[in-house]
Structures are given as structure tokens and as C-alpha cells.
């Protein structure tokens, strides 16, 4: 019996990882197969033309990280946009395709780490499922079909999009057999020539050629200079155990701060899913988002040590600012807005555990599909600012701000939980909801993920900044929240705005729980 597990938002990606575990592969190898397959069968949310972040825990060790995110190109300058009459970074089109895609380099770094730990499966084997689904086709998920309908008018004009993702000019219906033959060939080239060929060599030449021909400012030099890098792993002691997340340029600091502030404001003493539970986490989120907007940037562009903000003194001081009876003011905010993402998790019989995340930023990224390779390119650079006073001010070679942040928890009784979610501003809030339900209130993990959620601010597919409640939250809870001053908005049950969460949990006995969100397409129709 294999005491391992995989979590992903699509059932074919889960199967790909499980196949690797059955072949004797480790959690990292399974994660590469899962990530590659998810990049094919969930193209609206992630892809080879996007970025990724990875948090890896070896048994008996401390967590380590891989930052697989690209910088702005060397010719990507604020003046270019300002002289083009733009006051902000575009979210679609060639000028939005302005940062190098790091996802494939992350798989390469994972493969190197796997080899060091004794992994022996070939790259061909790890990419088999992804190649097959791109070449032979897969059934379009409900999520992809729905999003295609919603974003049709916005995305159809962009180069290559209609040819790659529409059928006779229309979005494919759910369960339609859908193929990506050019992407299959690209994956086969990677399997043959190595994952680093994405950045150097003939494949990289094709990528750079298409980007420049389509009007992007990225060059072959930008691809060649790209490297993965270790991101500092932030740690925070919690009454339940040790929590880990990633430092800048991700918002991992925010995810940890919300839980740290709420703990000191008395979260453990309230009723689960009560108005007090939601209120404390929402108020802690408001405080943590102030840090996000003030501080988070390329780590090379700041002297701030984010770990220094997670001290008992600072967290306690912030907790004291929470009024248990009244919501603090919350305006329009300046957060990153909608983002599409997939969270992926794996653990194997040895206890090796991986928490990872991939994204194109907005749904279908820049909308550009490169003709030679079938690659859909991200628009992560839209997170930059043209305001010189902003910590996210655009500069050539700079890392953009990332909402992405995979989480890990090492609980005091020996349980290890990798968890995370998609959802822009919602990521740290949903992490807090899931962790508090499971670790503080002993709600079974699958229920903790499936239960109705809440979100403050802008998130996936939404532009308003009020407090959104998912249908199913008790009306009495909503009335109390409204009485405390929260501006509420109801959204349907399992609305995409609440994201796709997941978790992989290893018990001290070796038993494993792998849970994917019922809001996702993790379960075959």
C-alpha cells in the first residue's frame, strides 16, 4: 500500500502524480508530473508560460524553497509604457508579456533536488501524462468552459488565443475533447532536450522569436539569464505548531501574520465558523494587508527583514488594535486584484512533502499564445507600478509582486500539513480559514476545505472590496457581522471567487489525507 497522496484542482493532474507514486517515485517526482499535467488540462489557470513557487520538507529537516519566477525583461522600462500613453501596466497583450516565465525552471530545480534525494525516474516518464493529454486530448472541465464563456470578448482579439483555445471561434463546451498539439510537441522537446532548453537552445530561440514578433519586450537574453533561486522561508511559532511560508516577493508574510495576529486576539477561544471567528480573521487580514502594500517587493530592493515583523511584540501590538465589536474602516484597498492559480501538494511513503503553486496571474495571462510552441504567456508584470514611490515600481530585471504563497504546518503532535489555494487576495484569508478550522477547531480536513468561506477585498474574478460571504454561511452570523459594520455581499455556493484550496496531511502513523476543493475540477464528471 502506498502511504502517499496528491492534491490538485484537476482529476487528471492528481492521477498523473499518483501514477508516479505507484511507480516508486518520490513526492518531488510526483509533483513534477502533477504540475506538468495541470499546466495542460487547466490552461486557464496555469501553464508553462507562467511562474511557480515550491516549499519542500524533507523528513527530519527544515523546509527549503524554490523560487521559479521571472524578472521583467532588460528592455522593460517605465518610459516605454509612459511614452505609449499608458498610466499603468496593461493586463493583456504583448506589453503585458513582460516577465520571463519561470515555471519550467522550477520543474528543473525540483528534478535536481529529487536526484539528490535518490529519485530515479526519467524526465520522459514524468512528462508522459502531460504530453499524452496535450496530444490526444482531454475533456474540457466545467471551470475552463465557464471561464472561456465569461472572458470570450476580452481574450478573443489577442494573437493566437482563438486558434489555441476556441473551437470555430467559440468556447469549447464542458466535456468537449480538447487538444493542444503544438504544446505537446513543446513538451516532447523538453523531455528530449532537458527542461533547461526552455531558456537556452533551439526551443528558447523559438520562444524569443515569437515573443518579439508579437510585440513583447522580452528577448532571448532575458530567457538565457533566468535562474531559479531559494527564497527565504519564514517561520512562525503557533500554539498548534510551527508554520512556514515564503518571504518576498510573495505574500507569505501576510498569510503568517493573519494567523499570528488572530491567535493573539483570542481566536482559539471563539466558536468555529461563528461571527467572532470570521470577524477576527477579517480584521487581522486588514492589518496584514497594510504590510503587503507597504513592504512586499523584490527582496533585492529592500533592506527590511520580513521575519522581524513576526515577533511576539509586534503581533501582540497589532492584535490589540482589533475591536471585537466593530469592523475597522476598509476602503477600496490597493491590492493585486484577481489572479488565477493552482495549488498542488504531494507526500510520499518516506514523509517527503511538497507544497507548490503555479500561476499565469490573470486568467489566461496576457492572452498571447506563441505560434511555434503553443505556449500561453503570463501577465505577471501587470503587478508592477509606474509610480516611482511604490515598492512595486517597474525596473528592468526586477521581480514582480506575487500573490502566490504555498504553506506548510508542522503540528505539535507530529502531523505535517501542506496546504494552499488560488485566489489573489483570497489566498492568505483562505489559508487562515482552513488552518483555523482544522488545527484549532478539530474540524475534519475535507470539511474544513468544503465549508462555506468568506473573502475580504478583490479576488479571482471580482472587483469589489467588500466582505463576500459564500452562500451557506449562517444568516445569524451574517446579521452579527453586518451589525459590527462589515459591508457584506453574498455570492453563490462554490463560486469561483472563493478559489480552489487543497491540502495534503501526513499523520504520525504514516496515514495520509489528500483533499482537493469541491469547488475545483478535482473530481471527474
DSSP designation for 308:
G
The crossing angle, in degrees rounded to 10, of helices 275-295 and 312-319 is 120
- CA dist 190 → 72, 185, 203, 360, 369 (Å): 24, 9, 8, 20, 18
Q: For position 77, what pLDDT does the model report?
A: 98
Q: What is the pLDDT of residues 454-481, one digit of tens each?
A: 999 865 455 557 999 999 999 999 999 9
Specify whether the CB–CB gap between 174 and 141 falls below 8 A: yes
- The reported pTM is 0.96
What's the rounded Cα separation, in Å, for the pair 292 and 307?
Answer: 14
SS3 514: strand
Residues 6+ apart with CB under 8 A from 334: 293
Residues 6+ apart with CB under 8 A from 202: 189, 193
Q: Residue 512 belongs to what H/E stretch?
A: strand 512-516
Q: At the topology level of CATH, where does 235-337+419-516 sit?
A: Serum Albumin; Chain A, Domain 1 (1.10.246)
Specify whether the CB–CB gap between 395 and 403 falls below 8 A: no
Q: For position 351, what pLDDT does the model report?
A: 97
What's the rounded Cα separation, in Å, for the pair 31 and 10?
Answer: 13
- Which is the catalytic residue, given 71, 341, 353, 421? 341
Domain ranges of the chain: 5-230+344-383, 235-337+419-516
What's the rounded Cα separation, in Å, for the pair 148 and 140?
Answer: 11
341 is catalytic: yes
Q: What is the pLDDT of residues 307-354, one digit of tens each?
A: 999 999 999 999 999 999 999 998 655 455 555 799 999 999 999 999
Q: What is the pLDDT of residues 43-82, one digit of tens each?
A: 999 999 999 999 999 999 999 999 999 999 999 999 999 9
What's the rounded Cα separation, in Å, for the pair 95 and 91?
Answer: 8
SS3 310: helix
Ranges in the chain, pLDDT < 70? 1-2, 331-339, 458-464, 525
Burial of 261 (0-12, 13-18, 19+ CB in 10 A): buried
Q: For residue 515, what are the β-bridge partners?
A: 503
Specify whether the CB–CB gap between 374 and 183 falls below 8 A: yes
Amino acid at each position: 500500500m502506498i502511504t502517499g497522496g496528491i492534491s490538485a484542482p484537476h482529476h487528471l493532474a492528481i492521477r498523473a502524480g499518483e501514477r508516479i507514486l505507484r511507480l516508486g517515485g518520490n513526492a518531488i517526482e510526483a509533483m513534477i508530473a502533477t504540475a506538468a499535467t495541470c499546466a495542460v488540462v487547466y490552461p486557464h489557470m496555469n501553464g508553462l508560460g507562467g511562474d511557480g513557487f515550491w516549499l519542500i520538507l524533507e523528513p527530519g529537516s527544515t523546509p527549503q524553497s524554490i523560487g521559479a519566477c521571472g524578472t521583467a525583461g532588460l528592455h522593460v522600462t517605465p518610459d516605454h509604457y509612459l511614452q505609449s500613453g499608458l498610466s499603468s501596466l496593461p493586463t493583456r497583450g504583448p506589453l503585458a508579456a513582460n516577465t520571463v516565465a519561470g515555471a519550467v525552471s522550477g520543474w528543473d530545480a525540483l528534478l535536481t533536488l529529487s536526484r539528490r534525494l535518490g529519485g530515479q525516474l526519467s524526465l520522459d516518464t514524468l512528462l508522459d501524462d502531460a504530453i499524452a493529454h496535450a496530444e490526444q486530448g482531454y475533456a474540457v472541465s466545467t471551470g475552463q468552459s465557464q471561464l472561456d464563456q465569461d472572458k470570450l470578448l476580452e481574450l478573443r482579439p489577442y494573437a493566437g488565443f482563438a486558434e489555441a483555445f476556441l473551437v470555430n471561434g467559440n468556447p469549447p463546451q464542458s466535456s468537449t475533447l480538447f487538444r493542444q498539439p503544438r504544446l505537446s510537441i513543446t513538451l516532447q522537446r523538453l523531455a528530449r532536450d532537458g527542461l533547461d532548453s526552455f531558456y537556452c537552445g533551439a526551443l528558447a530561440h523559438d520562444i524569443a522569436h515569437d515573443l518579439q514578433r508579437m510585440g513583447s519586450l522580452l528577448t532571448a537574453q532575458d530567457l538565457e539569464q533566468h535562474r531559479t533561486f531559494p527564497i527565504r522561508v519564514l517561520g512562525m511559532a503557533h500554539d498548534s505548531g510551527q508554520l512556514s511560508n515564503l518571504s518576498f516577493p510573495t505574500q507569505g508574510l501576510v498569510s503568517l501574520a493573519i494567523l499570528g495576529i488572530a491567535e493573539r486576539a483570542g481566536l482559539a477561544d471563539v466558536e468555529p465558523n461563528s461571527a467572532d471567528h470570521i470577524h477576527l480573521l477579517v480584521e487581522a487580514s486588514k492589518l496584514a494587508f497594510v504590510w503587503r502594500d507597504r513592504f512586499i517587493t523584490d527582496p533585492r530592493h529592500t533592506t527590511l527583514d520580513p521575519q522581524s515583523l513576526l515577533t511576539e511584540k509586534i503581533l501582540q501590538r497589532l492584535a490589540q488594535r482589533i475591536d471585537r465589536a466593530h469592523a475597522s474602516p476598509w476602503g477600496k484597498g490597493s491590492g493585486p486584484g484577481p489572479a488565477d492559480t493552482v495549488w498542488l501538494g504531494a507526500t510520499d511513503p518516506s514523509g517527503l512533502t511538497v507544497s507548490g503553486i503555479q500561476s499565469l496571474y490573470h486568467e489566461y495571462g496576457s492572452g498571447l499564445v506563441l505560434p511555434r510552441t503553443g505556449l500561453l504567456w503570463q501577465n505577471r508584470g501587470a503587478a508592477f507600478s509606474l509610480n516611482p514611490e511604490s515598492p512595486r515600481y517597474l525596473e528592468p530585471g526586477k521581480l514582480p509582486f506575487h500573490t502566490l504563497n504555498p504553506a506548510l504546518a508542522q503540528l505539535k503532535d507530529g502531523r505535517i500539513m501542506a496546504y494552499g489555494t488560488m485566489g489573489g487576495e483570497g489566498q492568505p484569508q483562505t489559508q487562515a480559514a482552513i488552518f483555523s478550522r482544522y488545527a484549532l477547531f478539530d474540524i475534519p480536513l475535507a470539511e474544513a476545505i468544503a465549508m462555506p468561506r468568506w473573502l475580504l477585498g478583490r479576488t479571482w474574478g471580482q472587483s469589489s472590496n467588500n466582505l463576500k460571504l459564500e452562500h451557506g454561511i449562517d444568516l445569524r452570523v451574517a446579521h452579527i457581522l453586518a451589525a459590527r459594520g462589515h459591508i457584506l455581499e453574498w455570492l453563490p455556493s462554490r463560486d469561483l471567487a472563493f478559489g480552489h484550496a487543497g491540502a495534503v496531511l501526513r499523520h504520525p502513523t504514516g496515514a495520509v489525507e489528500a483533499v482537493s476543493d469541491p469547488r475545483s475540477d478535482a473530481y471527474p464528471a
